[in-house]
Amino acid sequence: MTTPAGAGEPGTHLTGPGVRTPTGSARTCREPHRRCGPRRVPHPFAAACHHVLVEENQPLRVVIAEDHVILRDGMVELLTGRGCEVVATTGTPEGLHDAVRAHRPDVVIVDIRMPPSFTDEGIRAAERLRADHPDLGVLVFSQHAEPAWATRLLATGAHGAGYLLKERVAAVSQFVDALHRVATGGTALDPEIVDKMMRGGRRRLDRLTGRERQVLELMAQGYSNKSIAARLVVTERAVEKHAASIFGKFELPSTDTDNRRVKAVVTYLTEVGA
C-alpha cells in the first residue's frame, strides 16, 4: 500500500501543530467542478437507522485523528480511493480541534487513546466537538469496546455519532457507509457496543482488562507502582499506564493522583465484597 508523503515533503502541508493536509494526491479533488465522488445524504423522511441515500455533487470531507502513523496514512489511502476528501490528519486532540476549525469537515474519525496519557483523550475531544460543532459528524474508531465511553459520546443525542471497533470492520465499504451515515445525521454503533450498553448496570470492575485488574488488586494490597512492576515483571512505566487507564475507566478526575488511587481501591473493595 502506498502511503501519503510525510510532513514537509511534496504532497502535504502543515496547517497547525500535528496537523497534515494532503494536497497533491492524484485522487484528491482540488477543483470545484471536478468531483471525487458523490456524497450520500438521507432522505428527509427516512428513519435514522435505515437511510434512503441520494446523491449530492460533492465529496465527503473528512478529518482523521489517529496517533498511529501507519494506520492513519492507510485510512487516507483507502478513503481517498473511495471518493472521500481527507482534508487533514493529526495525531493529537489539539491538532484535531485546529483541523476542524480550519477545514470545517463533514465528519471526523477519532481514536480514543491519544497523547499525552493515552487514556480517554479521544472521547474528551469528541465530547467537546459535539458541543462546539453540533452539525459535525463524529465517528469514534477504536479497538476498545467501552460502553461508558459510548454513553459519554451519545450524552447529547445519537444524531451524527458513531462508535466502531477496528478489528470488527470487515470491509472498507462498510466503514465508508458508516462515515456517510454519521456525516448526514445518522448513527453507527458496533453491535458489541450496543450489547454492552443494553446490559447496563455492570460493575465498574468489568470494564477493566485482565492486566488492569491485576494491577488494581495489587494496589488494594498496598503495593507501590515499583513493587507491582516487579511482581508482574513489567516496567514501572507500564504500571503507570495501566493505573491511568483504570482511573479513566472509573471516570475519576485527574486533579489529585493520590485520591484517585484511593478511590479506585475503594471501588475495587466495594465491588468484590471485601
- Percentage of the chain exceeding pLDDT 90: 49
Domain that holds residue 148: 12-198
94 & 127 share domain: yes
171 & 250 share domain: no
Last residue of a domain, one of 198, 216, 237: 198
The grid cell for 158 is 445519537
Q: What is the pLDDT of residue 56?
A: 58
The grid cell for 246 is 483504570
pTM listed for this prediction: 0.58
49 belongs to a structural domain: yes
Number of domains making up the chain: 2
Backbone phi, psi, residue 231, to 5°: -70, -35
117 & 182 share domain: yes
Contacts of 3 (CB under 8 A, 6+ apart): 70, 73, 74, 76, 77
Distance of CA 83 to the CA centre of its chain: 22
7 belongs to a structural domain: no
- Percentage of the chain exceeding pLDDT 70: 75
118 & 228 share domain: no
Where does the pLDDT of residue 6 fall: very low under 50, low under 70, confident under 90, or very high at 90 and above? very low
189 & 229 share domain: no
Where does the pLDDT of residue 195 fall: very low under 50, low under 70, confident under 90, or very high at 90 and above? confident
254 belongs to a structural domain: yes
16 & 142 share domain: yes
120 & 151 share domain: yes
